[in-house]
Amino acid sequence: MYAQVIVDVPTMQTNRPYTYRIPAPMLEILRRGMRVVVPFGKGNRLVQGFVVGIKEDAQQTEQLKEIMQVVEMTPVLNDELLQLASWLAEYNFAFQISVLQTMLPNVMRAKYGKVLRLLAPDQLSDWPQIALLFADRGEIPFDSDNVDSELLPQLLKLQKKHIIEIGYLVKNRAKVKMVNVLKPTKDADFYKNQLERLRPSAVKQSRMLTFLLQAPKKFVPVKDVINRHHLDYAVIKQAENKGWLVQRQMESYRIPKLQTPVQPSQPLPLNDEQKQAYTAIIANIVQPKTQTFLLEGVTGSGKTEVYLQSIAKALAAGKTALMLVPEITLTPQMVRRVKSRFGDDVAVMHSGLSDGERYDEWRRVQRGEVHVVVGARSAIFAPLTNIGLIIIDEEHEASYKQDDNPRYHARDVAQWRVEYYGATLLLGSATPSLESRARAQKGVYQLLSLTKRATQSVLPTTEIVDMRESIKYNNDDVFSPQLLDSMQEKLDQQEQIVLMLNRRGYANFIICRDCGYTPRCVNCDVALTVHKDVGRLICHYCGYNELIPHQCKICGSKRIRQFGTGTQKVVEHLKEVLPQARVLRMDVDTTRKKGAVDKMLTAFGNQEADILLGTQMIAKGLDFPNVTLVGILNADTTLTLPDFRASERTFQLLTQVSGRAGRAQKPGNVILQTFNPEHYAIQLAKNQDYEGFYHQEMALRHAWHYTPYYFTVQIKFAHEQVDQAAKFAFETTNWLKNIVEKDTIMLGPAPSTISRIKNKYYYRVVIKYRFDQHLMQALTELMHKGQQLQRQGVTIMIDREPTNFI
Ligand SMILES: Nc1ncnc2c1ncn2[C@@H]1O[C@H](COP(=O)(O)OP(=O)(O)OP(=O)(O)O)[C@@H](O)[C@H]1O
Ligand SMILES: [Zn+2]
Ligand SMILES: [Zn+2]
């Protein structure tokens, strides 16, 4: 029998599996989807691989190598996930091995090490230093911790003489946590009897027996017994020796914990709009039929309640459910809401967990011990079977797209999985992506709307403050007088404030302080980027460039300059202007520690602070009834992103963050500070008018040939030398130009937005197409060619439907 194995060799990636002989003892156990260790290449280096097929015969059987080792006794990937991997690799121009590894918890990725093996110990007498190094061991790790570099020449000589050899090692880092457990062995009468016969001085023994007398007849962790009953290991050992109890080792799960216990919650009675949406969704869950819904519901309209009740329905129908939320910041509050409904039946998967916790949550899912998974992007690969419902909350979020290989979008994976299971996909957002909203328009998705807030509250009222005017009369360019006054008022009323500093904006653009003008590309309608070194503004799509201006083209002002400020500075500024306010700062720096987000949000919820100041992180999902003011310090920075989605991103962000205000009884206000008060994204966000925005933005996308009217692919080229990066970019572009369809548009090549990262120069081409099978084939070819080009120092990255143009 032979196994088809996808191997983990980064420098020789291919989507073709290699054939290996299955040794007789392994025949019984080896299955598709298992991890194995196999020798690879001339040096027979050991690498990890995945068995993707098993067959009776193979061609050229003589030269085939044997599988060395099976990593675990059960497959880690089932048929569904193996099929998904091969589809995803092809669709995203990625290699299967990188997809397979992405599907599994990080710790299951093999780590490789080298070992030195002593072949002829008796010949070491002339090499005292080496003899000392081995110190009677036959094999030692070969790394800088163990082996001094001074010894390398000697080691190489010995290797030539075949006295030692260098071997390879595959380390499995996935460790199951074991704990000591104990169980009483005798009946109650026995322990009672023993207790009566104890000397009064035997205090610990008495405690031990009292515990055993009441303990349930099942295994409990020794540690708990010791802590709760003030015992120690010695007493337990004694008791074991006397036969009063037995001890074992048992597998234990590391289950991630929240800061405070989760209180159970009951389903709320749905309002009419919620009920309509819910009824449509569950009709599909009960009858297996693939359907995708877009739930467009204003902020605070109770989308989460619809999600939770739909999940409950899936569970009642004997199916499982998967819910994605964007990145970790949102997770604590959302996890709490899901756990409060489904308790221990929920597994949580996101990057904030430790490796061990992630591995254990994954195993609970894989063993079918939980039926609900909530997590961030990569949780879309959770090994649930019999899926009835997949929910993607805040479906417009860019974090659902992975920026690294494999560059997949969780929405595409979700669509594939619901088709496999005949399940329902529910995409929810107050501000859907244009792609999804357009699909709903065409009837590909079914549109469901929630137009009102779920509680008695109404949407907040928004005031736009023109910062051009404000800084004319007022030295403060962080807080306008309007925002300061409102903050003071809320502080007096003991209500809470959320302040957002829009930091996603890219620092390298220019803005006129007097009229808000930002120079844009004449071909692409994106902001131009400053390149100080050449004194020019450059378009990162098409390469168009012009001199850095000293004067505004529109109003002639000389106050045209680069832009940007940080959260730390704003905190200091707040101390001066509102010294009495208690401020919580939430950004990448303050949330690095595990559990920090949960802790901060809990504190804010308990009103231990008046102001929550943060970056984009705080825009989504927060539901705090006492927040009545949202201040947006710089609404426009996202507008200047060199990205055709800049307006969409800005609209979404402003609408989401505004939606944090006035979610309960007290009405909410939003103050939005901007240099571009007339911009349609800002005007429409003022009224949370998503539909208005959708129509206006669609017209622009149509005019400029962007998504969703055209598909896009971005190809990036990286090299340590700028001329080499450019050369490969131009060669590839010219080659592609002869292949693609007539209506396919190629922009560039041009330097990337950040043209140099880690001493590599980046060039890119953006391709817009409608239907282009030739292009798809060419890109697959390019991906394979990219492997060879690596040897010339070029890295080629192909990104389908890119969301990041930096
Ligand atoms: N049917 C209902 N009756 C009463 N209150 C409800 C109902 N549905 C939801 N709520 C409450 O309304 C508030 C807002 O709901 P939720 O957070 O689910 O909105 P959302 O649509 O997810 O909002 P966002 O997009 O802003 O995060 C919550 O406090 C929730 O408990
Ligand atoms: Zn100007
Ligand atoms: Zn351009």
- What single DSSP character describes residue 735? H
Residue nearest to atom 23 of ligand 1 (CA): 300
Q: Which of 274, 431, 455 to mutate to test the pocket of ligand 1 (most atoms within 8 A of CB)?
A: 455
Residue nearest to atom 25 of ligand 1 (CA): 299
Residue nearest to atom 29 of ligand 1 (CA): 623
Burial of 657: CB neighbours in 10 Å, binned 0-12, 13-18, 19+: buried
Of 562, 533, 536, 548, residue with least CA distance to 637: 562
Of 609, 614, 639, residue with least CA distance to 626: 609
* Residues pairing with 48 in the sheet: 37
Residue nearest to atom 4 of ligand 1 (CA): 455
Cβ-Cβ contacts under 8 Å for 25 (sequence gap 6 or more) = none
The tokens for 160 are 């030539």
CA distance to 94, 108, 369, 382, per residue, from 102 (Å):
11, 10, 22, 11
Residue 690 CA, ligand 1 centroid: distance in Å: 19
Q: How far apart are CA 435 and CA 437, in angstroms?
A: 6
Q: Which atom of ligand 1 is nearest to the CA of 625?
A: 29
Count CB atoms within 10 A of the CB of residue 263: 8
Cα angle 89, 95, 100 (rounded to 5 degrees) comes to: 75
DSSP 217-267: SS-EEHHHHHHHHT--HHHHHHHHHTTSEEEEEEEE------SSPPPP--P
pLDDT at site 505: 46
Residue 641 CA, ligand 3 centroid: distance in Å: 13
β-pair type (245-252, 177-184): antiparallel
- What single DSSP character describes residue 22? P
Q: Which of 623, 626, 652, 655 to mutate to test the pocket of ligand 1 (most atoms within 8 A of CB)?
A: 623
Q: Which of 301, 333, 336, 457 to mutate to test the pocket of ligand 1 (most atoms within 8 A of CB)?
A: 301
pLDDT tens across 750-764, in order? 887 655 656 678 888
Residue nearest to atom 24 of ligand 1 (CA): 299
Residue 306 CA, ligand 1 centroid: distance in Å: 9
β-pair type (139-141, 111-118): antiparallel
Residue nearest to atom 6 of ligand 1 (CA): 454
Residue 553 CA, ligand 2 centroid: distance in Å: 6
Element housing 389 (H / E): strand 387-393
Residue 540 CA, ligand 3 centroid: distance in Å: 6
Residue type, 66: E
Residue 671 CA, ligand 1 centroid: distance in Å: 23
Residue 418 CA, ligand 3 centroid: distance in Å: 39
Tokens 């929550």 -> residue? 612
Residue nearest to atom 30 of ligand 1 (CA): 302
Count CB atoms within 10 A of the CB of residue 15: 16
Annotated binding site: 512, 515, 521, 524, 539, 542, 552, 555
Residue nearest to atom 27 of ligand 1 (CA): 621
Cβ-Cβ contacts under 8 Å for 234 (sequence gap 6 or more) = none
Q: How far apart are CA 291 and CA 127, in angstroms?
A: 72
Residue 518 CA, ligand 2 centroid: distance in Å: 8
Ligand nearest to the CA of 454: 1
Residue 280 CA, ligand 1 centroid: distance in Å: 19
DSSP 739-757: TS-TT-EEEEEEEEEEEEE
Residue nearest to atom 15 of ligand 1 (CA): 302
Q: How far apart are CA 267 and CA 577, in angstroms?
A: 44
Ligand nearest to the CA of 668: 1
64: left (phi over 0), alpha (psi -120 to 50) or beta: beta
Radius of gyration of the chain (CA): 31
Q: How far apart are CA 589 and CA 571, in angstroms?
A: 13
Return averaged pLDDT per consecutive 10 residues of the chain, 806 residues in all: 88 81 87 91 84 84 84 89 94 91 84 79 83 81 75 84 77 75 88 85 86 85 86 87 87 72 85 94 85 93 94 94 80 83 90 83 92 94 95 92 92 96 95 95 95 84 87 78 92 92 64 82 75 75 83 85 66 88 83 79 90 83 85 83 86 88 85 90 91 94 90 90 88 91 88 65 89 91 84 88 79
Ligand nearest to the CA of 308: 1
Q: How far apart are CA 147 and CA 132, in angstroms?
A: 11
Element housing 708 (H / E): none
Q: How far apart are CA 229 and CA 205, in angstroms?
A: 11
Q: How far apart are CA 476 and CA 467, in angstroms?
A: 10
Q: How far apart are CA 392 and CA 432, in angstroms?
A: 11
Cβ-Cβ contacts under 8 Å for 105 (sequence gap 6 or more) = 174, 355, 358, 359, 362
CB 350 within 8 A of CB 379: yes
Q: Which of 268, 294, 304 to mutate to test the pocket of ligand 1 (most atoms within 8 A of CB)?
A: 304
Ligand nearest to the CA of 277: 1
Tokens 């100080």 -> residue? 532
Q: Which atom of ligand 1 is nearest to the CA of 301?
A: 21
Of 432, 325, 332, 333, residue with least CA distance to 656: 432
Q: Which atom of ligand 1 is nearest to the CA of 269?
A: 1
* Residues pairing with 589 in the sheet: none
pLDDT at site 501: 84
The predicted complex's ipTM stands at 0.94
Annotated binding site for Zn(2+): 512, 515, 521, 524, 539, 542, 552, 555
β-pair type (18-21, 2-7): antiparallel
Percent composition of the chain: helix, strand, coil (DSSP 3-state, to 5): 40, 25, 40
Residue 454 CA, ligand 1 centroid: distance in Å: 5
Residue nearest to atom 16 of ligand 1 (CA): 302
Q: Which atom of ligand 1 is nearest to the CA of 429?
A: 25
Residue nearest to atom 5 of ligand 1 (CA): 455
Q: How far apart are CA 68 and CA 92, in angstroms?
A: 32
Q: Which atom of ligand 1 is nearest to the CA of 274?
A: 1
Residue type, 417: R
Ligand nearest to the CA of 749: 3
Residue nearest to atom 1 of ligand 1 (CA): 270
Residue 623 CA, ligand 1 centroid: distance in Å: 8
Residue 651 CA, ligand 1 centroid: distance in Å: 21
CB 414 within 8 A of CB 390: yes
β-pair type (560-562, 510-512): antiparallel
Residue 558 CA, ligand 2 centroid: distance in Å: 8
The binding-site residues of ligand 1, defined as CB within 6 angstroms of any ligand atom, are 268-271, 274, 297, 299-305, 430, 454-455, 621, 623, 659, 663
Q: Which atom of ligand 1 is nearest to the CA of 660?
A: 26
Ligand nearest to the CA of 513: 2
Q: How far apart are CA 417 and CA 411, in angstroms?
A: 10
Residue nearest to atom 8 of ligand 1 (CA): 302
Ligand nearest to the CA of 519: 2
> In three state form, how does the secondary structure of 461-517 look?
EEEEEEHHHHHHHCCCCCCCHHHHHHHHHHHHCCCEEEEECCCCCCCCCEEECCCCC
CB 302 within 8 A of CB 274: yes
Ligand nearest to the CA of 676: 2
Of 603, 606, 594, 638, residue with least CA distance to 619: 638
Q: Which atom of ligand 1 is nearest to the CA of 623?
A: 17
Q: Which of 301, 305, 452, 459 to mutate to test the pocket of ligand 1 (most atoms within 8 A of CB)?
A: 305
Residue 290 CA, ligand 1 centroid: distance in Å: 27
Count CB atoms within 10 A of the CB of residue 224: 12
β-pair type (387-393, 446-450): unpaired
Q: How far apart are CA 299 and CA 187, in angstroms?
A: 60
Residue 752 CA, ligand 3 centroid: distance in Å: 12
